[in-house]
Structure 1
Amino acid sequence: MEEKGNVLIDNSRTVGQLSAAGLLAKMTTAPYNYSYIFKYIIIGDMGVGKSCLLHQFTEKKFMADCPHTIGVEFGTRIIEVSGQKVKLQIWDTAGQERFRAVTRSYYRGAAGALMVYDITRRSTYNHLSSWLTDARNLTNPNTVIILIGNKADLEAQRDVTYEEAKQFAEENGLLFLEASAKTGENVEDAFLEAAKKIYQNIQDGSLDLNAAESGVQHKPTAPQGGRLSSDAQPQKEGCSC
């Protein structure tokens, strides 16, 4: 993205289900009233509730009959971190192995990664090492990764203890919490804690905003009535959002 006067020109291009033109049209409908954009990805096995977590965060509703994601889905929400408006661009990736080649392309340029497992299915916990390896290899070294044990409302069916997941997180330098997409417990905190850590990294200089892979864009808030322009044509490079 680049700014020309009071108009923001979007020169990025997305891949996958959401076209660049579609994303650009979506962005032109809202005032440019945030100072930062943070790119997030949500990763983890199929059926752990990644899409439900995204829906609960963006819509504050639980999808009881949540279909499996095919490829990648997208959601946004503006939050406030230390007095700054931050727009989260959240890419929800499919958990099936057959989509891994496609979804890996979305890891690039992610400022935050939510790695999700199901506390009632040990197999989803056992696969975390594989997901973490992908995240470490395909994102930048400063990407904030938060481990989320979803379905905390199903305590009676628990198959993974809080203590062992916390130990895994500590050993791998991850943030960690358990949440419930159904009740909303800790869902807000999961996205906000990652954003706070990213913002902290910006403030202490460990995250270089000029680096293409940072996953963060910093733009001054536009005057009231400022709009995004759809006049520019997308470039042919990969997504840098």
Structure 2
Amino acid sequence: MEEYLLKVVVVGDMHAGKTCLLLRYCDDTFQTDYKSTIGVDFKMKDLERDDCLGKLQLWDTAGQDRFRTIVASFYRGAEGLVVVYDITDRSSFEKVTWWIEEARYYGNDSCIAMLVGNKTDLEMKRQVSTKEGEALAKQLGIKFFETSAKNTSNVKEMFDTMADTIIARKKILSGQMHPASGQTGGIVDIRSTSVLSYSEWCAGYVDGSYCAML
């Protein structure tokens, strides 16, 4: 049975819940009193599919600016990028395009990107609507999930979707699968994608340009 190594980098502002998402997915645990990631941390998840095995490498990056030089080197070789924001913190949502730009600068020519709005268990404190997240993901041409590491909502589905999409892409590139038979949505050329600034995106959101799917 063929085995695939899948490297995924998880980025986003400090306190967006990146580490909690990884702990929930890999260890099925949730911690309320954890320390912020220093530099880069690493988790591994073994996956078994009908016709292959996967080793999902999840690189948990620090959101603080002082670690940017360290984190930048880990974009190289990444096949997946998960950009996480906190739905209760609008400033973390406003940084999404900045994270995409950084990945485009330091990363591979192409990778599978995903936008994730975390902490849906704090619905009463929500500052970013689901429609805003969906609209931004549509503008970027990537997949979108809302998750909660605390109550497990969509965490497994989100990471499994990322892994399965990378595996499908590997099979297509190796000739094992025809594009029509695989799920390849979310594959973007992050070097050539036109990424709007948050203010430019907001203007489009307000006038309805990015609301066609809503």
Please, what TM-score do these two structures have when normalized by structure 1?
0.69
If you compute each CA radius of gyration, which structure gives the higher value, 1 or 2?
Answer: 1
Q: Which structure's residues are more often helix, by fraction?
A: 2
CA gap of 1:84–1:164, structure 2 versus 1, over 3 A, is same
Q: Does 2:102 correspond to 1:134? A: yes
Q: Which structure is richer in relative contact order (CA contacts within 8 A, separation 6 or more)?
A: 1
Q: Does 1:163 align with 2:96?
A: no
Amino acid at match of 1:175: K
Matched, 1:98 2:69: no
The question of whether the paired residues in 1 share the 8 Å contact of 2:2 and 2:51 is answered with no
Provide closer, same or farther for how the CA distance between residues 82 and 133 of structure 1 changes in structure 2, counting only shifts above 3 A. Answer: farther
Aligned to 1:65: 33
Q: Which whole-Å CA distance do the structure 1 matches of 2:99 and 2:150 have between them?
A: 24
Distance 2:25 2:84 in 1: 14
SS in 2 for 1:120: coil
Measured after TM superposition, the shift of residue 139 of structure 1 is 1.8
Matched to 2:115, the amino acid is L
State the distance in 1 between where 2:135 and 2:49 align: 28
Match of 2:89 among 121, 141, 157: 121
The residue number in structure 2 matching 1:37 is: 5
C-alpha RMSD of matched pairs (Å):
1.7
Contact conserved, 2:9 with 2:75, CA < 8 A, in 1? yes
Q: Check the 8 A contact 2:75/2:108 in 1, yes or no.
A: no
- Specify the code of the residue in structure 2 equivalent to 1:92: D
1:55 is matched by which residue type in structure 2?
L
- CA deviation string 1:144-186 (max 9, x = no partner): 1111100011111110011111111111111110000111111
Aligned equivalents of 2:146 and 2:137: distance in 1? 12
Contact 1:81 1:195 in 2 (8 A): no
Q: Which consecutive unaligned segments of at least 5 residues does structure 1 have?
A: 1-32, 208-241
**Structure 1, residues 18-38: CA drift from partner, whole Å, max 9, x if none?**
xxxxxxxxxxxxxxx971110
Point out 4+ residue stretches in structure 1 off by more than 4 angstroms: none
- Aligned AA (2:156): E
- Provide the rounded CA distance (Å) in 2 between the counterparts of 1:54 and 1:34: 25
CA distance in 2, matches of 1:147, 1:114: 6
Paired residues in the alignment total 175
Partners of 2:41 and 2:99 in 1: how far apart? 18
Unmatched segments (≥5 aa) in structure 2:
176-214
Change (3 A) 1:82 1:125: farther
Q: Which secondary structure does the structure 1 equivalent of 2:173 belong to? A: coil
The match for 2:147 is: 179
Measure, in 2, the Cα distance between the counterparts of 1:83 and 1:110: 23
Tell me the CA shift for residue 141 of structure 1: 3.0
Q: CA, structure 1 residues 82+167, in 2 after alignment: closer, same or farther (shift >3 Å)?
A: farther
Residues 1:48 and 2:16 are matched in the alignment: yes
- Is the 1:41–1:113 Cα contact (8 Å) retained in structure 2? yes
